[in-house]
Amino acid sequence: NAGVTQTPKFQVLKTGQSMTLQCAQDMNHNSMYWYRQDPGMGLRLIYYSASEGTTDKGEVPNGYNVSRLNKREFSLRLESAAPSQTSVYFCASSTANTEAFFGQGTRLTVV
Amino acid sequence: GESVGLHLPTLSVQEGDNSIINCAYSNSASDYFIWYKQESGKGPQFIIDIRSNMDKRQGQRVTVLLNKTVKHLSLQIAATQPGDSAVYFCAENNNFNKFYFGSGTKLNVKP
């Protein structure tokens, strides 16, 4: 079982470039999440999707867009990357009111 | 927004001793709580959870205590081992199924 798979694992962008972080889960979970983690800090929720076709903003949604492509996949897009978006990004999934399972993260650097 | 905080950013314990990691939460509507362990370079891993209708739950070497009156959560690790060295996060979840995380406590286990 792969669980939650994120691609890419590492990425360097120049300021103003765009990119999409991919996430897929094979656990048939309804809910999916995108978090960012800055050094020495906890995880902050960027966007959340309760089910296919629905998305909702989290604590820090500015500068990001998401797409819940189908039940398995939930992508995060940076339209115009900024140095403040340098972070480690985690995707997670869960069923209703159970623990969330996390991917291994994408380490993004914006220069 | 949600607010989940931790009392101690770093905790050092001797191998074999018991560890206690604390967490305060602010949303009285939260009804589900999880402790995660995060090792360097990896995504958070589920340790143990507890629902608001309980005040104690035990797992293998771990116990979670929930005090709803003062909105406090703790994780107790018995006979702490070097492999327990990591950052520990508490997370809260409300009826909207969004997980909010604290800033984490780093546990150092001294041999």
**What is residue A41's predicted lDDT score, i.e. its pLDDT?**
78
CA distance B2 to B30: 10
Q: What is the 3-state secondary structure (H, E, C) of chain B?
A: CCCEECCCCEEEEECCCCEEEEEEECCCCCCEEEEEEECCCCCCEEEEEEECCCCEEECCCEEEEEECCCCEEEEEECCCCHHHCEEEEEEEECCCCCEEECCCEEEEEEC
Residue B99 is nearest to which of A33, A41, A104, comparing CB atoms?
A33
Q: What angle do CA A87, B5, B94 make, to 5 degrees?
A: 90
**What is residue A97's predicted lDDT score, i.e. its pLDDT?**
75
| Helical (H) or strand (E) element with A37 | strand A31-37
| Helical (H) or strand (E) element with A31 | strand A31-37
pLDDT tens per residue across all 111 residues of chain B: 344 544 448 899 999 999 999 999 888 889 999 999 999 989 999 999 999 999 999 999 999 999 999 999 999 999 999 999 999 999 998 767 788 998 899 999 998
**What is residue B2's predicted lDDT score, i.e. its pLDDT?**
42
Which residues from A are below 8 Å from B24, CB to CB?
none
Cβ atoms of B103 and A41 within 8 Å: the answer is yes
pLDDT-derived band at A57 (thresholds 50, 70, 90) equals very high
Q: B52: which 2 tokens? A: 């608001």
A28-40 pLDDT per residue, tens: 999 999 999 998 7
Which residues from B are below 8 Å from A92, CB to CB?
43, 99
Residue B93 is nearest to which of A42, A97, A102, comparing CB atoms?
A97
Q: Cβ contact (<8 Å) for B44 and A90?
A: yes
Which residues from A are below 8 Å from B39, CB to CB?
none
**What is residue A96's predicted lDDT score, i.e. its pLDDT?**
77
- Phi/psi at B84 (5° precision): -85, -10
Residue A41 Cα, gap to closest chain B Cα (Å): 5
Q: Cβ contact (<8 Å) for B44 and A104?
A: no
User: Regarding predicted confidence, which is higher, A72 or B27?
Assistant: A72
Average pLDDT over residues A16-42: 94
A78: contact with B, CB 8 A cutoff: no
Paired residues of B42 in beta bridges: none
Q: Cβ contact (<8 Å) for B101 and A50?
A: no
Report the candidate in A70, A69, A94 with the shortest Cα–Cα distance to residue A3: A94
**What is residue A42's predicted lDDT score, i.e. its pLDDT?**
86
CA distance B45 to B47: 6
